[in-house]
Amino acid sequence: MARYFLQIQYDGSAFHGSQIQGDTPTVQLAINQSLSTLLREPIESFGASRTDEGVHALCSYYHFDTEQPLHENFIYKMNAILPLQIAVNKLYRTVDPELNCRFAAVSRQYRYRIYKEKNPFKQNRALYHPYKIDRAILDETAEVIKEYTDFETFSKRNSQTKTYLCTIMESRWEDFEDELHYVVRGNRFLRGMVRGLVGTQLQAAKGKVSIEEFRKIIESKDCTQADFSVAGHGLYLEDIEYLEGSLIEIFDKN
């Protein structure tokens, strides 16, 4: 039995989240159905990250197992079957047949996009936020976040997580053309965590929360103190890293 990793991207506005929910249209369901059609056997995939409804992915991974050889133009065939809102970018075979794309990830990076001037072409692609904010405060809150490891405050209830400890490697705000982006990289993220971090930082940047109060919100370990209200369509899963040498890329013949 061989294990394969699919590197994919998707438009989250077309799905009710990434994780399987019966017959509800999700990313995982579409991948399972497409794999089963191409391989002509029931295939169940497993995702590297669980994204909420509306959240996009520029780079995510799903793994699946099969004993049969793959088609020489597997990526092309998968993309022909998958919905237009999902694309397979790369295909890998794992060195370790037990490698799990979720638990083996070394780090994940998310990006949240915000724009100030109304733009109909950015609807469902970024957060329209036409309010005055203090950019210097955002830079400060982003630095504060890296000082902490317990993010229970930014985990939605009923997440069934066993630990709230996360290592944040990068946390920063960037100007990108006419947008403002929050970029965060960590070894793991909790359910709703990035949106909670963005929403609460915006509250500070609008003068509703001081830096000291922002620290107290983190330390409270109380999710009711965080702001999760920012829309999912502004959030992108941008990158997932694995240990070097753990994956062998497979290319289509043509």
Q: Which residues are catalytic?
A: 52
Residues 6 or more apart whose CB falls under 8 angstroms from that of 215 comprise 144
Q: 229, 202, 228: which is closest to 138 by C-alpha?
A: 202
Buried b (16+ CB within 10 A) or exposed e, 101-111: beebbeebbbb
Q: 232, 246, 206: which is closest to 105 by C-alpha?
A: 246
Whole-angstrom distance, CA of residue 46 vs CA of residue 65: 10
Residues 6 or more apart whose CB falls under 8 angstroms from that of 161 comprise 155, 190, 191
In sequence order, what DSSP letters do the residues of 56-72 get, joined into one string? EEEEEEEEEEESSPPPT
Residues 6 or more apart whose CB falls under 8 angstroms from that of 157 comprise 223
Q: 185, 209, 68: which is closest to 137 by C-alpha?
A: 209
Neighbours of 157 (CB within 10 A): 8
What single-letter DSSP state applies at residue 165? B
Whole-angstrom distance, CA of residue 175 vs CA of residue 43: 42
In this structure, are residues 18 and 49 in contact, taking their beta carbons and an 8 Å threshold?
yes
